[in-house]
Amino acid sequence: MSTILITIGVITGITTLLALLLTFADAFIADYGIKKILINKNKELEIEGGNTLLSTLVNEKIFIPSACGGKGSCGYCKCKVNSGGGPVLATELPYLSKGDKENNIRLSCQIKVKEDMEIEIPEELFNVKAYKGVVEEIVDITDKIKFVRFKITSNDPSTIDFNAGQYIQLTAPPYPSSPEEVYRAYSIASATKDKNHINLLIGYVEDGLLTTYVHQHLNQGSSVNFTGPYGDFYLQDTDAEIVLVAVGTGMAPILSILYELIDQKSQRKATFFFGARTKSDLFMLEEMDIFERELPNFKFIPTLSRPNAEEEWTGEVGRVNNSIEKILEYSDAPREAYLCGSAPMIDSTVDSLLAKGIREDKIYFDKFD
Residues that bind another protein (CB under 8 A): 6-7, 10-11, 14-15, 18-19, 21-22, 25-26, 29-30, 32, 86-87, 89-90, 114
Cβ atoms within 10 Å, residue 284: 21
* 246 vs 300: CA distance, rounded Å: 11
Q: What CA–CA distance (Å, rounded) separates 327 from 272?
A: 11
In the bound complex, what is the minimum distance in angstroms from residue 83's beta carbon to another protein?
14
* Centroid of chain to Cα 96: 20
User: Taking the CB of residue 331, how many other CB atoms lie within 10 A of it?
Assistant: 11
C-alpha distances in angstroms, 239 versus 68, 85, 288? 38, 43, 21
**What is the closest distance, in whole angstroms, from the C-beta atom of residue 117 to another protein in the complex?**
14
**CB-wise, 115 or 181, nearer to another protein?**
115
Q: Which amino acid is at 128?
A: V
Q: Nearest approach, Cβ of 31 to another protein (angstroms)?
A: 9
Distance, C-alpha 246 to centroid of its chain = 16
Q: Smaller CB distance to another protein: residue 19 or 139?
A: 19
Closest distance to another protein from the beta carbon of 281 (Å): 48
Nearer to another protein, 86 or 174 (CB): 86
| Shortest distance in whole angstroms from residue 233 CB to another protein | 36
**Nearer Cβ to another protein (33/221):** 33
Q: Min. distance of Cβ 335 from another protein in angstroms?
A: 49
Cβ 30 to another protein shortest distance, Å: 6
User: Nearest approach, Cβ of 32 to another protein (angstroms)?
Assistant: 8
Measured CA to CA in angstroms, residue 211 lies from 66, 76, 171, 366 at distances of: 18, 20, 11, 19
Least separation, in Å, of the C-beta of 16 and another protein?
Answer: 11
Residue with smaller CB distance to another protein, 90 or 309: 90
Q: Is the CB of 21 or the CB of 355 nearer to another protein?
A: 21
H-type alpha helices, 127-182: none
Phi, psi of 230 (to 5 degrees): -125, 165
Element (H, E) at 92: none
1 vs 309, which CB is nearer to another protein? 1
Using the minimum distance from each CB to another protein, give the nearer residue, 7 or 331. 7
Rounded distance, CA 287 to CA 149, Å?
16
With respect to another protein, which residue has the nearer C-beta, 26 or 239? 26
Which runs of consecutive H residues, i.e. helices, occur in the chain? Answer: 2-28, 53-59, 98-102, 209-212, 251-263, 285-294, 320-327, 343-355
Q: Which is nearer to another protein, 114 or 277 (CB)?
A: 114
**201: nearest Cα among 192, 191, 188:** 188
Whole-Å CA distances, 151 to 134, 204, 218, 345, 353: 5, 22, 14, 32, 38
| Residue 104 DSSP label | T
Min dist. Cβ of residue 91 to another protein (A): 8
160: amino acid identity, one letter: I
Q: How far is CA 250 from CA 151, 207, 340, in A?
A: 22, 20, 5
